[in-house]
Structure 1
Amino acid sequence: MAAPALSQPSRLPITPEWRGTAERVAQAGVPLEDLAPNAPDSHTVQPGDTLWGISGLFLKSAWRWPELWGMNLQQIRNPHLIYPGQVLVLEKIDGRATLRVANGEIGLPTNTVKLSPRVRSSLLDNGAIAAIPVHLIGPFLNEAVVFDNNVLDSAPRVVSAQEGRVMMGRGDTAYVRGDLAGARDFRLFRQLVPLTDPVTREVLGYEGRYVGTAEFVRAGETQLASAGGSGALVPDTFRITSTRMEVVVGDRLSPVPMQELVAYVPRAPSAPVDGRIVGIYGDGLRAGQNQIVSINKGRRDGMERGHVLALWRAGKATTDTTGARREALQLPDEKHGTLFVFRTFERVSYALILGVQEPVRAGDRFTQP
């Protein structure tokens, strides 16, 4: 299958910062010591590969993807336009490494490797591979939401179910009261959970417990007693379209926001970062790879979608028993994982754990990579 031209424009933006990094690397390549220990001589791009995965295949740090791009800036005009079937060839000259796309080669080189194990990801609309495993964060773009403490108090609410049911599932009818403000598609949330800073104990926001989605079916009305009615209010009618848990009376509705096109491009923060994990999304006390956590840094702290962060394991207190007398020691913290920020609010952000050696808990520290 022929690949589209590499110079084809992409809808995903390339910032001056990323292009500057790539251009600096393009002038001389990267030092051999920056290559991954087992970097292959070539790699055939497979459906399900990501820029993150390919960067980790060739370089020691996967978040340094602009350097991978810069290793082949002439052929890869846009890093988002790398396609399955293309063969990336690693060349080493005078202590530096560059990457090129093989042209006119038939079949796979004998030293071609696949990312294994690897996480499957969706291709972009034009067939190019994605920057990260997009399907892992896709469901959370509407689900992981931080509210002000009073937002849902005045939101439309489920007041009854059909035929006196206590719980509702997909396809069931729910009756709703409240100002819909012209919206037709809604998310359903339960009680708000405060997100508390592990250090300052300050409440940073309130996480809505996601229940599902519902669509507007029919508007309510007021039955007039003089017209033979009871004079009671008739609520709006909704149909439950999806559920993460059963819908119950009292659940609140929030309009589904417009889905924006987002370039999820891994990169390091431009300034030093030192923060803490606020909590594990859901009901867990610990989290591992591919799970979601909330962190105590948001837009006001300079946190942006695409930022990569390093997770640290706290050093343990121990005792030196090798000397003439016993002395207390504090072992240093050690890096043991990587976070990828995919959604930001004013004081809180959500991040995907891309890799970790030990379980992550609330209060764990993170920094710039």
Structure 2
Amino acid sequence: MLRHLKPLALASLSLALLAPAPTPAAPRDGGDRLRMVPGRHLPYEYVVKKGDTLWDIAARFLKNPWQWPEIWERNSYITNPDLIYPGDLLVFDQRDGMLKLKVVRAGPQARALPLEAIPTVRAELILPFLNRPGIATDEELKHLPYVLASKDARVIFGQHDVVYARGFDADAAQRYDVVRLGPELVDPGSRRVLGHRLDHLGVAEVLDDGPVRRLRIVEAYQEIRPGDRLLPQPARTGLHFMPRAPAQAVNGVLFAAEQSVNELGQGAVGIINLGTQAGVEPGQVLTVYRSGRRIDDPVTGKPVVLPEEAIGTVMVFRPFARVSYVLVMDSIQAIRLGDSVRSPAAGERQARLER
């Protein structure tokens, strides 16, 4: 019995991620630019299982997993194309020269317990980076309220202490992350400071109103001091995102990592020198390129730079003003700090993985 249609998405995360999918590009040269993974024969069926991710399912079918939204665009009868559940049956087939997808699910008797939609990626890889303050620019920090003092003239504060703070605006929040300026993030090309990592010191709740307010420190991970900044905690709305290519041309560098490493593998988190000011959004997928080596031509003796190579794929999952956290989705060799990132081109993932 055919099962009722049901849509695809990221399970609720503790930070809102909103990324509407852009209108997909039209097929080029009259053909279908979507391609199945080599060795798959149509029609191809797959039953979604608990533990699956959207990226893994897309990579199971498509040479370019980031083209998944184009599949959904071809199914106009699906009203919310960003939710897939364990037990859903995915059927890939080809009609009129176009790759098509049908999503069907079992009747209510097959769902004894409520199910959560499958995540885009393994949540444990990115949740630590969504649950902490992250990165801020100098301009942003200037406008944040800050810890002023305590009533007993102490200069070190901890959990349960009540402190005074100032610098609040009219629509101030009730709960804040207490942060301190961390290391600079410097653009490798321009040498401009793109922002600062923020050390997460604790959490504080506002007790009253006024230009100078009392706050209680409800969590303390490090010593808190006068001058430490207060960053409003984001609303935990659990919105969804879908992997896709950027609508605009994107060209940047992966220049930092969240750990003290120079090389990144699949599942690692890095930082690129592009953020919301450059139009970067959660869910956008970028190709990582390694510059070619410089050698001496064995015939002419003159220096030659070998062509660059595509070596991996990253996905933006948390953008800031000038930088973004990215997750390494796949790679054929270790990704190094200094490798470039650009908008993907159709077919390049096939070329990387089939060499």
Tell me the TM-score normalized by structure 2.
0.72
SS of residue in 1 equivalent to 2:90: strand
1:128 to 107, 110, 117: 117
SS of residue in 2 equivalent to 1:278: strand
Partner of 1:86: 88
1:61 to 64, 82, 86: 64
SS of residue in 1 equivalent to 2:246: coil
Q: Partners of 1:285 and 1:15 in 2: how far apart?
A: 33
Tell me how far 1:279 sits from its aligned partner.
1.8
Structure 1 residues 134-143 or 339-348, which shifts more?
134-143
Q: Partners of 1:177 and 1:104 in 2: how far apart?
A: 56
- Residue 190 (1) aligns with residue 168 (2): no
- Residue 203 (1) aligns with residue 229 (2): no
Please tell me whether Structure 1 or Structure 2 has the larger radius of gyration of its CA atoms: 1
Q: Aligned letter for 1:52?
A: W
* Pairing of 1:179-258 with structure 2 (within 5 A): 179-180=167-168, 182-216=172-206, 236-241=214-219, 243=221, 246-250=222-226, 251-258=228-235
* Pairing of 1:133-144 with structure 2 (within 5 A): 133-141=122-130, 142-144=132-134
Tell me how far 1:289 sits from its aligned partner.
2.8
User: Any conservation in 2 of the 1:314–1:333 contact (CA below 8 Å)?
Assistant: yes
Tell me how far 1:347 sits from its aligned partner.
2.8
- Residue 364 (1) aligns with residue 352 (2): no
User: Any conservation in 2 of the 1:198–1:277 contact (CA below 8 Å)?
Assistant: no
Tell me how far 1:85 sits from its aligned partner.
0.5
Q: Partners of 2:128 and 2:151 in 1: how far apart?
A: 26
User: Any conservation in 1 of the 2:92–2:101 contact (CA below 8 Å)?
Assistant: yes
Q: Partners of 1:241 and 1:255 in 2: how far apart?
A: 15
The superposition leaves residues 277-301 of structure 1 with CA deviations (integer Å, 9 ceiling, x where unpaired) of 2322354444333333222222332
SS of residue in 2 equivalent to 1:143: coil
2:161 to 159, 169, 173: 173
SS of residue in 1 equivalent to 2:248: coil
User: Any conservation in 1 of the 2:241–2:282 contact (CA below 8 Å)?
Assistant: yes
SS of residue in 2 equivalent to 1:151: helix
Q: Partners of 2:328 and 2:232 in 1: how far apart?
A: 28
Q: Partners of 1:77 and 1:153 in 2: how far apart?
A: 41
Tell me how far 1:364 sits from its aligned partner.
2.0
Give the direction of change, closer, same or farther, for the CA distance of 1:248–1:69 in structure 2 (3 Å limit).
Answer: same
Percent of aligned pairs with the same residue?
Answer: 30
The superposition leaves residues 128-171 of structure 1 with CA deviations (integer Å, 9 ceiling, x where unpaired) of 32333445334433522323257258632275699x89684xx5
Show structure 1 runs of 5+ residues with no match: 106-124, 223-234
Partner of 1:146: 136
User: Any conservation in 2 of the 1:51–1:129 contact (CA below 8 Å)?
Assistant: yes
Partner of 2:23: 17
Q: Aligned letter for 1:151?
A: L
Tell me how far 1:91 sits from its aligned partner.
3.4
- Residue 52 (1) aligns with residue 55 (2): yes
The superposition leaves residues 282-337 of structure 1 with CA deviations (integer Å, 9 ceiling, x where unpaired) of 5444433333322222233222222111111221223444x4x6453322211111
Tell me the TM-score normalized by structure 1.
0.70
Partner of 2:100: 98
Partner of 1:331: 306
Give the direction of change, closer, same or farther, for the CA distance of 1:280–1:161 in structure 2 (3 Å limit).
Answer: farther
Tell me how far 1:54 sits from its aligned partner.
0.9
Show structure 2 runs of 5+ residues with no match: 13-17, 108-113, 345-355
Give the direction of change, closer, same or farther, for the CA distance of 1:315–1:15 in structure 2 (3 Å limit).
Answer: closer
Q: Partners of 1:99 and 1:154 in 2: how far apart?
A: 48
Q: Aligned letter for 1:363?
A: G
